[in-house]
Amino acid sequence: MHRRTFSALALATPALCLARPALAREPEIYQEGGIAIDGSDPVGYFTTNGPVAGGDVTLDYKGATWRFADQASADAFAANPTAYEPAFGGYCAFAASRGYLAPTTPEAWTIYEDRLYLNANLRARELWLQDVPGNIAKGEANWPGILG
């Protein structure tokens, strides 16, 4: 290696060490394959007291496709999406309270003060339920910074 080439590499090395790859920001809404909250009808949590699988009726909202059991649910969501969309974008509410993102499952849910909260699994839901107001406050303090 020539002295000139070595010098150029030596000078460039610190700059290369400082360069970082740009990390992609996570989507605002938890989704897989573009489908929000595992294809569950978000309105169903409020009207049937639990998860309802969405069907062929869909709406696009915040970069994700939301599925609904019927047109009435889709219309209710379209009229007031903030009333039905889950907190923390449908990511695990307990994870958000701890400062990170985790996927959710439809069966691990809670409605608290007219807001839907989803969790990664039933164990995370148990931990969430131990201090719902405190966990909400922590999650809101972390959100949306944990999206990246």
Quote the pTM value: 0.83
pLDDT at 52 over 50: yes
Query: What's residue 114's pLDDT?
Result: 97
Residue 22 backbone zone (phi > 0: left; psi -120 to 50: alpha; other: beta): beta
pLDDT at 105 over 90: yes
Query: What's residue 24's pLDDT?
Result: 65
Please answer whether residues 103 and 30 qualify as being in contact, where contact means their C-beta atoms are separated by less than 8 angstroms.
yes
Query: What's residue 25's pLDDT?
Result: 81
β 35-36/109-112 pair status: unpaired
pLDDT at 30 over 90: yes
Nearest C-alpha neighbor of 46 from the set 80, 2, 17: 80
Nearest C-alpha neighbor of 128 from the set 97, 100, 87, 105: 97
Poorest-pLDDT segment among 20-34, 44-58, 111-125, 126-140: 20-34
The confidence band for 144, taking pLDDT boundaries of 50, 70 and 90, is confident
3-class secondary-structure state, position 111:
strand
Residue type, 12: A
pLDDT at 20 over 60: no
Residue 44: partners with Cβ closer than 8 Å, 6 or more residues away: 50, 51, 52, 69, 73
Higher pLDDT, 59 or 12: 59
- The runs of H, that is alpha helices, within 19-117 are 44-47, 71-79, 81-84, 93-97
Higher pLDDT, 90 or 10: 90
The confidence band for 7, taking pLDDT boundaries of 50, 70 and 90, is very low
The alpha-carbon radius of gyration of the chain (Å, integer) is 21
